[in-house]
Amino acid sequence: MRALAIDVGTGTQDVLLFDDAREIENCLRLVMPSPTVLIAARIRAATATRRAIVLTGDTMGGGPSAWAARDHAQAGLPVAATPEAARTFDDDLTVVEALGVRIVEPLEAEQLLAHGAIHLGLRDVWLDELADAMARFDVDLRTVDAVALAVFDHGAAPPGVSDRRFRFERLRERLTAEPEAGPAAFAYRAEAIPPAFTRLAAAAGQARAWFMRVGGTSGADIPVLAMDTGPAAVLGALEDVAARRALAAGRAVIAVNVGNFHTLAMHVVPAPPGEATTIATGAGMPIRVAGIVEHHTGELRRPLLARYVRELSAGTVRDEDVFASMGHGALVLPEVAARAAPPARGRPRAARRARSLLTVTGPRRDLLGGSVVRGLGRPCPAVPHGDMMQAGTFGLLRALAYRLPEWRAPVAARLGDWG
């Protein structure tokens, strides 16, 4: 069985073609520029040649592409976008118009293109391009058995509601609704994506449409999983040998993913011993999330991040403090930590070993790496299966195995058995 996992970040898109007939080290993988970086470069090229641009397609990741569109408009050059494409920059289209982007319907977009504007189609999933690249190495993407995608989705907040607060409330809902899933609670089969997550839905729809186009009617049946990038990276980071050993020994793990735009820290604990039976039957994951902190990486400095990580471990981090410092928020579930397997006790040396393991991953992990966090020590770099850049795709594979029972044995055969 083969699964295509794509983790779409702000800087890169990380791709893993999982094949249960190969050792994980021999599976094909790519680290390519992210779609928003590529779109931004194309917009800036149009700016340099003083050309109008028209954006169509779906809601995708913003950031670099949004800044490039804003700069294009500020240079006095026309920017038009269809409504769904425009929501890449903000769910409130009046905000998008304030950036200098004119909202147009598809027919007007076609007319603008006929008069020489440059067309840029927005999408997070670039399967045509990946298929072309892999075909040169005799790999046929049309034959994969499942697709798992990760994108960051703030969620479509209602007018007047902070997108930071809106997103964090959705995270809170997921953890409380499905605690037995651990970080995999933030993964959805395509048909079960909540309506608020428009970017997740768009990415899943793009993947499904591609397989229907290239694979005929059978493409409609391919399983598509969509997951948030932060939890995917954390779940993948837990594949690291040190993290697995800590959890197996009954210790908690503070897993931090320091992304280009967003930083997510999770307090992960082993599942209570009494739940081992349900885990063994595949009804849950052997880990629970006891707390979350999420922030904007650009707003963080090492002392502040270390403080939040320390408070997350202690269960004292305050949601209002994180939000006031321009983060999304914090969530502590003390009852989860209290029900987890108790740490080792006894001699001082054993007590030191029993403290939570701090592990860090992500492209900006140096923001925390090398520092001594009081009570937690130095962070342990997470290198799951020997490849830090694929933490998100490994997390996607675990989530795929959780959501689709037929994938549990193939994934466990190559990544190891969580249970």
Query: What's the CA gap between 110 and 56, in Å, rounded?
Result: 10
What are the angstrom distances between the C-alpha of 232 and each of 17, 101, 284?
Answer: 16, 33, 17
Name the residue with higher pLDDT: 298 or 418: 298
CA-closest candidate to residue 6, choices 130, 189, 159, 104: 130
Average pLDDT score over the chain: 91
pLDDT-wise least confident of 307-316, 345-354, 380-389: 345-354
Rg (CA), the chain: 22
Q: What is the pLDDT of residue 414?
A: 94
Contact 120, 109 (CB under 8 A): no
Amino acid at 21: A
Place of tokens 């045509």: 128
Q: What is the pLDDT of residue 301?
A: 94
Tens digit of pLDDT for each residue in 280-319? 445 578 899 999 999 999 999 999 999 999 999 999 999 9
Query: What's the CA gap between 337 and 333, in Å, rounded?
Result: 7
Amino acid at 94: T
Measured from the Cβ of residue 71, the count of other Cβ atoms closer than 10 Å reads: 17
Query: What's the CA gap between 360 and 369, in Å, rounded?
Result: 7
Tens digit of pLDDT for each residue in 54-81? 999 999 998 999 999 999 999 999 999 9
Matching CATH number, 36-121, of 3.20.20.370, 3.40.50.1820, 3.40.50.1100, 3.90.420.10: 3.40.50.1100
Label residue 273 by pLDDT band (50, 70, 90). Answer: confident
